[in-house]
Structure 1
Amino acid sequence: MEVFLELIRYTVPSMVMLIFTLLLVRWFLKSENDRRKQELLMGQNMNSLPMRIAAYERLTLFLERISAESIIIREQPHARTVKELQANLLKAIRTEYEHNMAMQVHLPPRTWMMVRNAKEEMIKTVNISANMVKPGDASMALGKTILEQFPNTANYHFKKALDSLKTDVQSFYNL
């Protein structure tokens, strides 16, 4: 019995020490693993940041290019009638959108939805304005009608989308 007690006397402290050491090693390995994951994520963010900023720049340019003033100045010289200008404007908006569609992978879904809404509002403004003038009139009549309608409708969506893009980019610098 005395041998058994002597054995327990040496074994129990050794077991406590072993368990304490195992828990300490486990905690250290977990913390080291978390640190490495964080370093990897930071490295990935630093590598992808230039691409993300380029996406925001391209989408800002997209919104500027499809704004009423910009697109009418660019497309009006190529059209003679309202119908031709309407077709040219819609084609230009859709082409610009398709050209920049891949940039959505770099944006939060909410921001991308605002960019899409701005595009849709511009298309709607063109179509509504085209219905307000005669199809055979000079293209200048459609341009004038769009510019009169634009501040009341699509401008709100353009401003909202641009503000969202700016807010997202600012969050990159506030890390």
Structure 2
Amino acid sequence: MELDILGLLLYCVPAIITGAIAFFFFREHVENENNRRNFLIQKDLQKDALPLRLQAYERISLFLERIKPSKLLLRAKPTSSKKEDYESLLIANIEQEFNHNLAQQIYVTDQCWSITSTAKNATIQIIRKATLSDKVDSADKLREVILSEMMEKRSPSDAALSFIKEEVSDIW
């Protein structure tokens, strides 16, 4: 009886060890195959998404260039001599450009979109602050004050563009 149990153990122990090794081997193999498939799917998705992401960065860069005060003032000429009308025209141009590019936030990082929005709002604040100045009494004087202020300091768009350039270089 003891001999039968010992004989049974001598047959079962190697079978259990072989079964455990086979189990771990196949589990590892299946896990590696799943990881490989996921990698290939991710690679295909990245290949399709990269051009869309780069296009979004291009559009945001164009937006930031268009709302630079120096370029905005050249493009949007005053329709009247009233500084308030010109302020409204400039802000409407910025908002229109921004709304035209709203969908780009899907393709860029949250931080990039936040910096873009901040640059837009800072540009609007520059315009509003200049309008409130005592030196400004006409649309032409408003243009002059904004342009002279932009000569002295960097525009919000420049800072945002620098960030975008860094982010795009990280993609490569």
Question: Does the alignment pair 1:106 with 2:96?
Answer: no
Residues 1:22 and 1:104: Cα distance change in structure 2 (over 3 Å): same
Query: What does 1:1-175 correspond to in 2, within 5 Å?
Result: 1=1, 2-76=3-77, 78-132=79-133, 133-134=136-137, 137=138, 139-152=139-152, 155=155, 157-173=156-172
| Counterpart code for 2:68 | S
1:154 to partner: Cα distance: 6.0
Which is richer in helix? Answer: 1
Q: Is the 8 A contact 2:67 2:157 kept in 1?
A: no
How many residues matched? 169
Q: TM-score, normalised by structure 2?
A: 0.91
- Calculate the aligned-residue CA RMSD, in Å: 1.5
Q: Give CA-to-partner distance per residue, 1:24-54, whole Å, 9 cap, x none.
A: 0001111111111111111111111111001
Gaps of 5+ in 1: none
- One-letter code aligned to 1:76: K
- The Cα of 1:159 is off from its aligned counterpart by 2.0
Contact 2:70 2:150 in 1 (8 A): no
Q: What TM-score do the two structures reach when normalised by structure 1?
A: 0.90
For the Cα contact (< 8 Å) 2:130–2:146, is it kept in 1?
yes
Query: Where in structure 2 are there 5+ consecutive unaligned residues?
Result: none
- 1:76 is paired with a residue of what secondary structure? coil
Distance in 2 between residues matched to 1:126 and 1:20, nearest whole Å: 72
